Amino acid sequence: MGEPSAAAGRRRIGVMGGTFDPIHHGHLVAASEVGSRFGLDEVVFVPTGEPWQKVDDRRVSPAEHRYLMTVIATASNPGFTVSRVDIDRGGPTYTTDTLRDLAVEHPDADLYFITGADALTAILGWKNPDELFRLAYFIGVTRPGHRLDSSGLPADRISLLEVPALAISSTDCRDRVADGEPVWYLVPDGVVQYINKHRLYRA
Ligand SMILES: Nc1ncnc2c1ncn2[C@@H]1O[C@H](COP(=O)(O)OP(=O)(O)OP(=O)(O)O)[C@@H](O)[C@H]1O
Ligand SMILES: O=C(O)c1ccc[n+]([C@@H]2O[C@H](COP(=O)([O-])O)[C@@H](O)[C@H]2O)c1
């Protein structure tokens, strides 16, 4: 796997895209670990507008709820920010568009796209995979139960990183809420309260 070389004078910005329905501590730990390991100046969380590979399977919560939960979850960390680019663009979310928009907003930065290793193996099925690897360096973080497999991917544009194993998924959080089980400590406290206030994920 290639390690990215530091370009003098350029900022390093991590990009953590996700549906975040809801955001949970697995996302936050992954962003924090990558930020520390790769010396990132900032990690931008980018909630999807329409996650086109998920909408057929289930009803995704409205983007504004997912955006606000992401803001609540990241608010206390000065190194974390949230971008609305994918929500405000409208239509299906493609990461090529995300990275192009962020490159325009941050012309002085190199972009590092952070993704679960499971998603990384599926990237060849995303829109314009060749362009993706020109626009950003990709970091795949391990998730419990998912094997690391980077075959077919450009070795000089990706790294794989083991992060502390957190067996949390948004699916599990939604199922727990629907079953009346607690999600305290799986998601940040403010997100628990937001879910309750807006009665999200009730059966
Ligand atoms: N526990 C975790 N540890 C590390 N990465 C994670 C974890 N959960 C999700 N990710 C990664 O975070 C990104 C955004 O994930 P997403 O918002 O789809 O959450 P999810 O938990 O995978 O959701 P769902 O269960 O609804 O599919 C993806 O790249 C995903 O692989
Ligand atoms: O660009 C694509 O075609 C594409 C297809 C599937 C997922 N993605 C991106 O991958 C990130 C994680 O997506 P998801 O669906 O696992 O929440 C998020 O930023 C998505 O926009 C991107």
* Assigned token pair, 8: 């003098």
pLDDT of res. 101: 98
Q: How far apart are CA 74 and CA 67, in angstroms?
A: 11
Backbone angles phi, psi at 102, to 5 degrees: -70, -30
- Nearest atom in ligand 2 to the alpha carbon of residue 113 is 19
Residue 162 near ligand 1, beta carbon < 6 Å: no
* CA atoms within 13 Å, Cβ hemisphere of 167: 2
Q: pTM for this structure?
A: 0.95
Could you tell me the pLDDT band of residue 202, with boundaries at 50, 70 and 90? Answer: very high
180 or 152, which is more confident: 180
17 CA distance to ligand 2 middle (Å)? 7
Residue 3 has pLDDT above 70, yes or no: no
Element (H, E) at 37: helix 25-37
Confidence of residue 11 (pLDDT cuts 50, 70, 90): very high
CB 41 within 8 A of CB 12: yes
Note whether ipTM > 0.95 here. yes
pLDDT > 60? residue 2:
no
For residue 3, with 0-12 CB atoms within 10 Å meaning exposed, 13-18 middle and 19 or more buried, which class applies?
exposed
What lies within 8 Å, CB to CB, of 111 at 6+ separation is: 13, 14, 15, 99, 102, 103, 135, 136, 137
In this structure, are residues 62 and 25 in contact, taking their beta carbons and an 8 Å threshold? no
What percent of the residues of the chain are helix, what percent strand, and what percent coil, each to the nearest 5? Answer: 40, 20, 45
Protein residue with its CA nearest to atom 30 in ligand 1: 116
